[in-house]
Amino acid sequence: MARERRRHGQQRDRGEDDLHAQVLERMMDLVRNDTYPSTTHLDMIESILRDDETDEYAEVLMEKIRSESYPSFDHLQRLMKLG
Protein backbone atom coordinates (compact mmCIF):
# COMPACT_ATOMS: atom_id res chain seq x y z
CA MET A 1 0.00 0.00 0.00
CA ALA A 2 2.73 2.50 0.97
CA ARG A 3 4.69 1.47 -2.11
CA GLU A 4 1.68 2.22 -4.34
CA ARG A 5 1.23 5.66 -2.75
CA ARG A 6 4.91 6.40 -3.21
CA ARG A 7 4.78 5.41 -6.87
CA HIS A 8 1.59 7.39 -7.39
CA GLY A 9 3.22 10.43 -5.76
CA GLN A 10 6.22 10.16 -8.06
CA GLN A 11 3.96 9.94 -11.10
CA ARG A 12 2.03 12.99 -9.97
CA ASP A 13 5.29 14.94 -9.49
CA ARG A 14 6.43 14.01 -12.99
CA GLY A 15 3.00 14.98 -14.31
CA GLU A 16 3.22 18.33 -12.58
CA ASP A 17 6.70 18.87 -14.02
CA ASP A 18 5.40 17.95 -17.46
CA LEU A 19 2.50 20.37 -17.13
CA HIS A 20 4.85 23.09 -15.91
CA ALA A 21 7.13 22.51 -18.92
CA GLN A 22 4.20 22.60 -21.35
CA VAL A 23 2.78 25.82 -19.90
CA LEU A 24 6.20 27.49 -19.84
CA GLU A 25 6.98 26.41 -23.40
CA ARG A 26 3.66 27.78 -24.67
CA MET A 27 4.11 31.07 -22.85
CA MET A 28 7.68 31.42 -24.17
CA ASP A 29 6.44 30.75 -27.71
CA LEU A 30 3.78 33.46 -27.34
CA VAL A 31 6.40 35.96 -26.22
CA ARG A 32 8.92 34.85 -28.83
CA ASN A 33 6.42 35.21 -31.70
CA ASP A 34 4.76 38.45 -30.61
CA THR A 35 6.26 41.74 -31.75
CA TYR A 36 4.98 43.42 -28.59
CA PRO A 37 4.61 40.68 -25.97
CA SER A 38 2.01 41.11 -23.30
CA THR A 39 3.33 42.23 -19.94
CA THR A 40 0.79 39.85 -18.45
CA HIS A 41 2.43 36.94 -20.29
CA LEU A 42 5.87 38.09 -19.14
CA ASP A 43 4.62 38.36 -15.55
CA MET A 44 3.12 34.88 -15.77
CA ILE A 45 6.38 33.41 -17.06
CA GLU A 46 8.33 35.08 -14.27
CA SER A 47 5.88 33.80 -11.67
CA ILE A 48 6.48 30.14 -12.63
CA LEU A 49 10.11 30.36 -13.77
CA ARG A 50 12.50 27.97 -12.04
CA ASP A 51 16.21 28.64 -11.58
CA ASP A 52 17.22 26.20 -14.31
CA GLU A 53 14.87 27.93 -16.80
CA THR A 54 16.17 31.46 -16.32
CA ASP A 55 18.75 31.26 -19.13
CA GLU A 56 16.11 30.34 -21.71
CA TYR A 57 13.87 33.22 -20.61
CA ALA A 58 16.83 35.63 -20.67
CA GLU A 59 17.60 34.52 -24.22
CA VAL A 60 14.01 35.18 -25.31
CA LEU A 61 14.26 38.70 -23.90
CA MET A 62 17.68 39.20 -25.52
CA GLU A 63 16.24 38.16 -28.90
CA LYS A 64 13.60 40.86 -28.48
CA ILE A 65 16.16 43.50 -27.48
CA ARG A 66 18.53 42.61 -30.34
CA SER A 67 15.77 42.85 -32.91
CA GLU A 68 14.67 46.36 -31.93
CA SER A 69 16.32 49.66 -32.81
CA TYR A 70 14.85 51.09 -29.61
CA PRO A 71 14.52 48.19 -27.18
CA SER A 72 11.63 48.09 -24.78
CA PHE A 73 12.51 49.63 -21.43
CA ASP A 74 10.39 46.95 -19.77
CA HIS A 75 12.35 44.17 -21.50
CA LEU A 76 15.64 45.75 -20.45
CA GLN A 77 14.48 46.04 -16.84
CA ARG A 78 13.27 42.44 -16.76
CA LEU A 79 16.57 41.23 -18.20
CA MET A 80 18.57 43.24 -15.66
CA LYS A 81 16.56 41.71 -12.80
CA LEU A 82 17.63 38.27 -14.00
CA GLY A 83 21.30 39.20 -13.98
Q: Are 12 and 19 in contact (CB under 8 A)?
A: no
- Nearest Cα neighbor of 43 from 64, 74, 18 is 74
The dihedral formed by the CA atoms of 64, 66, 70 and 74, expressed in degrees to the nearest 10 = 40
Predicted model pTM: 0.78
Q: Where are the domains of the chain?
A: 2-82
Task: Classify residue 37 as exposed, middle or buried by CB count within 10 Å of its CB (0-12, 13-18, 19+).
Answer: buried
Q: What is the pLDDT of residues 24-81, one digit of tens each?
A: 999 999 999 998 999 999 999 999 999 999 999 999 999 999 999 999 999 999 999 9
